[in-house]
Homo-oligomer: A and B are copies of this chain.
Amino acid sequence: MSKLIVIGGVAAGMSAAAKAKRMDKQLAVQVYAAGDYISYGGCGLPYYIGGFIPDVNRLVARTPEQMKEQGIDVKVRHEVTAIDPDQQKVTILDRDRQQSFEEEFDQLIIASGASAIVPPMPGIDLDGVFQLRTIPDAVAIRSFIDQYHPRQAVIVGGGFIGLEMVENLQRLGCQVTIVEKAPQLLTVADADMAGLIQQYLEETGVKMALGVDMQGIEGDKRVRAVLTDRGPIEAELVLLSIGVKPNSEIAAAAGIELGIRNAIQINERCETNIAGIYAAGDCATVRHLVSGRDTYIPMGSTANKQGKVAGENAAGGRTSFRGVVGTGIARISGREFARTGLSERECKDLGFSYIAKKIEGQTAASYCPGATAIQVKLIAEGGTGRILGGQIAGGPTSAKRIDVIALAIASGSTVADLVDMDLAYSPPFGPVWDPLLVALNQF
């Protein structure tokens, strides 16, 4: 009987294991998960903290017991510490028994995920300083808030997760300050669009410390302030949301090739440079369909897709995942933001000639109650008119409209291809000239 070992039990790992087993019922599938939980919706953690989701277990899609019923053996708190590609075996540390053992594999899928970047700074270990990647992280934050009722919260990092946390901390009574090293929020957005989100958050009472560099954290046992190059910022709770790094150390040690930002280099089939060893999800690279380059954009949706492909191929199939166009979305204190494709900055960096247009529209016919402002920015290639990117900011029902732009980019559509688009119209869903069409008509 052939044996597949999967390292990691969250999005990519569980998708891979489940798909491989569905493909080949005879395949022995063994999953080793370093943490306490498997198969959980990590993107839902901010909403558990904020109380939108009362029970953290609702984030868990499947337990090891449920996987067992599908014929998949999952061991939690089992950390794979070494891979031996030549001998086709892995070394596993049973964290409870503090014992290591070896296990042979025929196929291996590395879905070891990513870890929050925690800068080595004074005070970073103080009580009340958190990162947010796992269920225990979220439970710790929520317990701390329930115990100490912090009024001043500092979020370090103005990316998607940091901004998603704003409404959740506000809901729990926190005054939020965002410390961001860049001169703008949301560096995946252009400054003009990020400025709209900034303005809105300021209206809800968020304080901005943009272009501000964290230098350390101050406190005795508990955090008291975030130290920055502009002075201290009072903080009873600090969330470090600076970014993540791929968990690729054991892969690198085994001679598996790493790519951009030390992510495990994979191809469209999720194969690494070593035959029989696959990688998927937040530990791995992904092809960007506009630039044609491999990049590192860890996303739960991508992890699921790559995991499925890795699982199918590891079980003897032959399938591929072409890549992403860089779509991202967030609800930000009741407003919405989404982006896809390349930003203006990315166009410049990659040497694309481009034209950018931006319009303000409404999410419903102007006479409809509930119509709110929506800003749509489109970026098209100079000459060809091929859509390179899009960004949307606005009220409810704004952001998911980005999907049309994501498909337009992936299908290589031009402005001319799209101006006649037969988008759905009825007053509760938009004006008779859909905001996307208005933006397209600017070119």
The interface of chain A, by Cβ under 8 A from chain B, is 11, 41, 43-44, 47, 52-53, 58-59, 160, 164, 289, 299-302, 304-305, 321-331, 338, 340, 365-369, 397, 399-404, 406-408, 410-411, 413, 417-418, 420-430, 432-434, 436
Contacts and interface: CB of A to CB of B under 8 A. Distances in A.
Q: How many copies does the complex hold?
A: 2
Contact of A428 (B331, B410, B424, B432): B331
B59 A432 contact: no
B424 A43 contact: no
A327 B423 contact: yes
A164 B426 CA distance: 10
Contacts of A330: 426
Residue from the set A59, A299, A427, A434 with the largest chain B CB neighbour count within 10 Å: A427
6 closest cross-chain pairs (CB), A and B = A329-B424, A301-B425, A58-B367, A327-B422, A324-B422, A331-B428
Given A47-B427, A368-B47, A407-B408, A420 B322 contact: yes
Contacts of A404: 403-404, 407
Nearest to A417: B411
A105 to B, nearest CB: 27
A299 B425 contact: yes
A400 B427 contact: no
A367 B60 CA distance: 9
Contact of A424 (B305, B403, B424, B434): B403
A258 to B, nearest CB: 23
Contacts of A403: 401, 403-404, 421, 423-424, 434, 436
A422 B322 CA distance: 10
Contact of A329 (B52, B53, B418, B429): B429
16 contacts: A41-B432, A43-B425, A43-B432, A44-B368, A44-B427, A53-B367, A304-B432, A304-B433, A305-B420, A321-B420, A400-B429, A401-B403, A403-B404, A406-B421, A406-B424, A410-B420
Given A58-B367, A329-B429, A369-B52, A422 B164 contact: no
A400 B399 contact: no
A152 B365 CA distance: 30
Contacts of A406: 421-424
Nearest to A304: B432
A403 B392 CA distance: 16
Contacts of A331: 426, 428-429
Given A403-B401, A429-B399, A301 B44 contact: no
A411 B53 CA distance: 39
Contacts of A304: 432-433
A325 B422 CA distance: 6
Contacts of A324: 422
A299 B425 CA distance: 8
Given A340-B424, A401-B403, 10 more contacts: A41-B432, A43-B365, A58-B367, A301-B422, A304-B433, A331-B428, A403-B423, A403-B434, A404-B407, A410-B421
B401 A434 contact: no
Contacts of A436: 403
A151 to B, nearest CB: 26
A28 B27 CA distance: 78
A52 to B, nearest CB: 6
Nearest to A56: B367
B400 A430 contact: yes
A423 to B, nearest CB: 5
A428 to B, nearest CB: 5
A85 to B, nearest CB: 29
